């Protein structure tokens, strides 16, 4: 680790797991390069701060005494809900963020080099940074390709693809092959104005920034990165995959459940386990839950399935499982509320990842060479799935509308049996390319050096 240089970076993550995780990983990367880190975090969805002892946290709160919490009723189980919630978060935390940043910059001692804020916080964080006199970098936690698609929204509207019409779902978007209309990140939106506003603000905020940091690597998304760069015209730093720098970073604390899961995985044959998880936000209904349960059981393969509390609408946890299900599966299947996903995907027993295709899960699977079964639920997940299946060719799509026990069994069998179509080989090759990007001569390492010089140039 490099010596601390008396320089500090302030970070402002969006308070959701899929955004917080990459921001904290980026914090670790900067910390390893000698910077101190302060994280301004909302009181909404405050994580367990004891897990990150190397960083200073400043919690900002949005609740005024005697007033009702405007965020208390918010649901986040679909893209539409999420757009509304992010809009509310931006409103509620604008002023607390401004005050916190001003106080941090005014503290004295270490020089504050810059602010790194999640792209979705938008333009207002740039306005505040300018007012206070700090440079602002943007972290984009999703794929470059999703950002490209967002920049193409005006064109897609012009050409009549947006708003989406049900009759055109299977049509190819000829301007953005191989995406189909149903892959566009708006499918749950019948009235997409809120989404358009949110995305415009994100794009404008990125254009005004001092640079964009991407959790992706050049070899994976070269064309999309160039496209984004030509549209944004600011320095860009694809330094991902962030989580793979973790060998250098402080170890994460483990809990008893993690050990139990590892013990169970240790007892399974190599590449025999189907790991199923739909990320941190997506919800499913009871009918889907039962089909997944029976599909997994009927596939006759060991499975590790993450069912978050309240993930099945209208239930607490597992109460709608078919009668006797848990007794029937015995030790061949394991259902848990959460896992250490990085460890699970890296375990040799895991043979496939049935995923919702959130960007973090996608990258994490690519990095371990694990083939994916893709069941996207909302927003960018659909286009991530298309790229996984048709561009990188490291997975198969099982559409949510076809998530029925027989289909599930069929797709699990195809991915696990690997009928000589080279799926597993392609996964391993892509894993190697991800690893190479982080090696001394790899693109991500070089971009990281550039990023550090860029940040240091701000206070010279
Ligand atoms: C959200 C959006 O839904 C997605 O479209 C966007 O790309 C990112 O933000 P999320 O559901 O959080 O996605 O999924 P993902 O991006 O995959 O992030 C989930 C994170 O939680 C991953 O880093 C994963 O490792 C972690 N995780 C998930 C666990 O550690 N344990 C689990 O049991 C499940």
ipTM of the complex: 0.98
Q: Ligand 1: does its nearest atom lie under 6 Å from the Cβ of 359?
A: yes
Q: Looking at residues 190-218, what average pLDDT do you find?
A: 93
Question: Is residue 306 in contact with ligand 1, taking CB distance under 6 Å?
Answer: yes
All domains of the chain in start order, with CATH: 7-240+439-459 (3.40.50.2000), 256-434 (3.40.50.2000)
Report which ligand 1 atom has the smallest distance to the Cα of 306. Answer: 33
Strands 303-306 and 333-336: parallel
**Ligand 1 touching residue 341 (CB < 6 A):** yes
Which ligand 1 atom minimizes the distance to the CA of 243? 23
User: Is 277 near ligand 1, meaning CB less than 6 Å away?
Assistant: yes
- CB of 215 closer than 6 A to ligand 1? no
Q: Compute the distance from residue 150 Cα to the ligand 1 centre, in Å.
A: 20
Query: From ligand 1's centre to the CA of 282, what distance in Å?
Result: 9
- Check pocket membership of 353 for ligand 1, CB cut-off 6 A: no
The CA distance from 391 to 387, in Å, is 5
User: At CA 172, angle to CA 167 and CA 174, rounded to 5?
Assistant: 130
d(CA 378, CA 359): 12
pLDDT value of position 193:
86
Closest CA to 44 of 78, 8, 20: 20
pLDDT tens for each residue of 91-112: 999 999 999 999 999 877 788 9
Number of helices and strands (H, E) in the chain? Answer: 16, 13
355 alpha carbon – ligand 1 mean position (Å): 10
Which atom of ligand 1 is closest in space to residue 19's alpha carbon?
9
**pTM, two decimal places:** 0.96
92 Cβ below 6 A of ligand 1: no
Residue 190 predicted with pLDDT over 60: no
- Cβ(146) – ligand 1 distance below 6 Å: no
Whose alpha carbon is nearest atom 27 of ligand 1?
341
Q: 51 vs 11, 54, 56, 164, 243, CA distance in Å? A: 17, 9, 12, 43, 16
Q: Which pLDDT tens digit goes with each residue over 405-455?
A: 999 999 999 999 876 689 999 999 999 999 999 999 999 999 999 999 999
304 close to ligand 1 (CB < 6 Angstrom): no
Kindly give the number of the ligand 1 atom that is closest to the alpha carbon of 357. Answer: 17
- Render pLDDT for 112-132 as a digit per residue (tens, 0 to 9): 999 999 999 999 999 999 999
Is the distance from the beta carbon of residue 358 to the nearest atom of ligand 1 less than 6 Å?
yes
| Residue 249: pLDDT over 60 | no
Q: For residue 251, what pLDDT band results from cuts at 50, 70 and 90? A: low
The 10s digit of each residue's pLDDT in 35-65 is: 999 999 999 999 999 999 999 999 999 887 7
What is the phi/psi pair of residue 380, to 5°? -65, -15
* Euclidean distance between CA atoms 186 and 163, whole angstroms: 8
């Amino acid at each position: 680790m490099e010596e601390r240089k008396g320089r500090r970076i302030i970070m402002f993550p969006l308070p959701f797991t899929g955004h917080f995780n990459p921001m904290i990983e980026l914090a670790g990367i900067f910390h390893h390069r000698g910077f101190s880190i302060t994280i301004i975090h909302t009181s909404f969805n405050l994580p367990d701060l004891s897990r990150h002892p190397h960083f200073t946290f400043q919690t900002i709160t949005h609740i005024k005494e005697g007033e009702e919490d405007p965020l208390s009723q918010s649901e986040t189980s679909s893209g539409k809900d999420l757009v509304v919630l992010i809009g509310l978060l931006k409103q509620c935390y604008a002023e607390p963020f401004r005050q916190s940043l001003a106080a941090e910059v005014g503290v004295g001692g270490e020089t504050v080099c810059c602010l790194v804020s999640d792209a979705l916080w938008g333009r207002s964080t740039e306005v505040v940074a300018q007012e206070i006199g700090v440079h602002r970098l943007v972290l984009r936690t999703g794929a470059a390709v999703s950002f490209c698609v967002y920049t193409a929204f005006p064109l897609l509207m012009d050409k009549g693809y947006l708003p989406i019409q049900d009759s055109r779902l299977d049509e190819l978007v000829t301007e953005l092959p191989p995406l189909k209309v149903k892959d566009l990140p708006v499918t749950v939106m019948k009235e997409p104005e809120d989404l358009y506003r949110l995305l415009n603000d994100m794009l404008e905020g990125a254009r005004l920034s001092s640079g964009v940091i991407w959790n992706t690597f050049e070899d994976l998304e070269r064309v999309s990165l160039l496209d984004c760069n030509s549209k944004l015209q600011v320095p860009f730093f694809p330094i991902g995959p962030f989580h793979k720098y973790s060998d250098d970073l402080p170890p994460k604390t483990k809990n008893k459940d993690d050990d139990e899961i590892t013990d169970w995985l240790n007892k399974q044959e190599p590449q025999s386990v189907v790991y199923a998880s739909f990320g941190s936000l997506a919800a499913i209904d009871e009918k889907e839950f039962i089909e997944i349960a029976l599909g997994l059981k009927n596939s006759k393969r060991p499975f590790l399935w993450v069912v978050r509390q309240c993930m099945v609408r209208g239930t607490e946890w597992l109460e709608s499982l078919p009668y006797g299900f848990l007794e029937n599966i015995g030790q061949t299947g394991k259902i848990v509320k959460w896992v250490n996903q990085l460890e699970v995907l890296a375990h040799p027993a895991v043979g496939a990842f049935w995923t919702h295709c959130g960007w973090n899960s996608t990258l994490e699977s690519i990095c371990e060479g694990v083939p994916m079964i893709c069941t996207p639920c909302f927003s960018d997940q659909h286009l991530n799935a298309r790229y996984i299946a048709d561009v990188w060719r490291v997975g198969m799509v099982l559409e949510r509308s076809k998530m029925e026990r027989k289909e599930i069994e069929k797709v699990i069998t195809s991915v696990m049996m690997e009928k000589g179509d080279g799926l597993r080989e392609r996964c391993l090759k892509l894993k190697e390319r991800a690893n190479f990007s982080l090696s001394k001569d790899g693109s991500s390492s070089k971009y990281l050096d550039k990023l550090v010089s860029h940040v240091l140039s701000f206070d010279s």
